Structure 1
Amino acid sequence: MTRERELTAIAERYARRDVGDRYSLLRPEVWQMLQERERALLRELARREGRPQDWHLAEVGCGAGGNLLEMLRMGFAPEHLQGIELLAERHELARQVLPASLRLTLGDASQAPMAPASQDLVLQSTVFSSILSDPVQQQLAAAMWSWLKPGGAVLWYDFIIDNPRNRDVRGVPLRRVRELFPQGQLRWRRVTLAPPLARLVCRLHPGAYTVFNSIPWLRTHVLAVIEKP
């Protein structure tokens, strides 16, 4: 019941959000955040052996499919990609834009029909910060870990600092990431200028993002690779 209550609560929290154009790619802070994260992710993928077209990747909380579209652009084969999304309206949006050969699953990712040791990479982007239940976080992390092949990795992007203005989310510090994946080998870097600050400084000038983002303690997110031995 804990998991079912938390999943229902997540859907309700998302339903009452009104973000307007806050995440529009036409906003200077948004495209700079995205490009920064993409550069960091590409650096990590370049360290791996093999070729993207041969790798199998699953995304937890794929939303409207934006990250999976990026993976296609990076060279992943659509038949080797799959996404899992809890919210029906986002799942439908993803289905509209992604290739038919890319498998999409609607529902609870911790219960997804994913074969053990079938994935080279498992991606999550700001999913765990939306889960307020520790046991539900743990169940999802355990499922993700079971999907990975030996030598595979979780690709993790999430924020580490609580947002006092938004009680619907919570930061996931590195100590919690280590608790969730105790057997993993963790490599990480801080990225992303604090979004409220980024919105503010980019009103002055888009170039201000780079200036303020050069200060490490103003970055609120972590891009991490958690490798499975």
Structure 2
Amino acid sequence: MSNELDAISERYERRKHIAGDRYARLNPAVNAVVQERQTALIKLFAQQGIRDLSAHKVLEVGCGSGANLLELVQLGATPANLVGNELLPGRLDAARARLPQDVALYAGDASKLPLPDASFDMVYQSTVFSSILDDDLQQALAQKMWSLVRPGGGVLWYDFTFNNPRNPDVRGVTVSRIRELFPQGVMSTRRVTLAPPITRGVVKVRPTLYGVFNALPFLRTHVLCWIQKNDV
């Protein structure tokens, strides 16, 4: 598995030079995707009876530069209750620079985080598993995430389900694979996010077209999922 961790670092390092502003928040296509995902996230929280994040303890594995954790703060989470983990040192440095000081950050392999079991109400992953091409590492990370969730809490999942023929560095994670990774969980899923190539095309013409095309479920490439850990 250590070889896969090295490979992930190499793949990210190689591709960051060709990404340009494709993932920048000021990119109108990115902004459309983020706004739609935020709306879906709020609806998912409401469905799960989560109407106040202030007391929730949350861990994000693969937190990148901290955008998702910052989003949770904006939605009412208490910074001292948030923990982030990131494999890549440059991204971790960026997260330290942008997040409130009370957010705890851990470097390295998320599957080996030195944190107590059942210590979080929510463990969050966003497009991390699609970057892991090794099944054993996926399984180890899923088991670690599940162990860190307290009974009554859950795993929050956002990732894409289809392979990208233009990017061999990622692999789609199907809903059936999510069930394999978390066999004891009770899943609630919704399909979100207009396919990125379509998004870039329609937003370039008119940003409001994002909602028109995204109304067609078969054009959505990601799933937003809550995986409930019932009381034991």
Please report the TM-score for the alignment, with normalisation by the length of structure 1. 0.97
| CA distance in 1 between partners of 2:25 and 2:69 (Å) | 16
Q: Tell me the CA shift for residue 88 of structure 1.
A: 0.1
Q: Tell me the CA shift for residue 44 of structure 1.
A: 1.8
Q: Tell me the CA shift for residue 192 of structure 1.
A: 0.4
After superposition, where does 1:31-180 map in structure 2 within 5 Å? 31-46=31-46, 47-49=48-50, 51-180=52-181
- % of aligned pairs identical? 53
| CA distance in 1 between partners of 2:29 and 2:100 (Å) | 29
Q: Tell me the CA shift for residue 121 of structure 1.
A: 0.3
The one-letter code of the counterpart of 2:219 is L
Larger mean Cα displacement after TM superposition, 6-15 or 193-202: 193-202
- Other-structure match for 2:217: 216
Kept after mapping to 1: 8 A contact 2:121/2:150: yes
Please report the TM-score for the alignment, with normalisation by the length of structure 2. 0.96
Q: Tell me the CA shift for residue 48 of structure 1.
A: 2.5
Deviations 1:30-55 (CA, angstroms, capped at 9, x unpaired): 11110111111111222325731111
Gaps of 5+ in 1: none
Counterpart of 1:15 in 2: which secondary structure? helix
Q: Tell me the CA shift for residue 217 of structure 1.
A: 0.4
Counterpart of 1:179 in 2: which secondary structure? helix
| CA distance in 2 between partners of 1:76 and 1:203 (Å) | 34
| CA distance in 2 between partners of 1:200 and 1:51 (Å) | 37
Q: Tell me the CA shift for residue 64 of structure 1.
A: 0.3
Q: Which runs of 4+ in 1 moved over 4 A?
A: none
| CA distance in 1 between partners of 2:49 and 2:62 (Å) | 24
Equivalenced residue count is: 227
| CA distance in 2 between partners of 1:142 and 1:170 (Å) | 20
| CA distance in 1 between partners of 2:83 and 2:66 (Å) | 10
Gaps of 5+ in 2: none
The one-letter code of the counterpart of 2:22 is R
Larger mean Cα displacement after TM superposition, 40-49 or 193-202: 40-49
The one-letter code of the counterpart of 2:6 is T
| CA distance in 2 between partners of 1:48 and 1:103 (Å) | 26
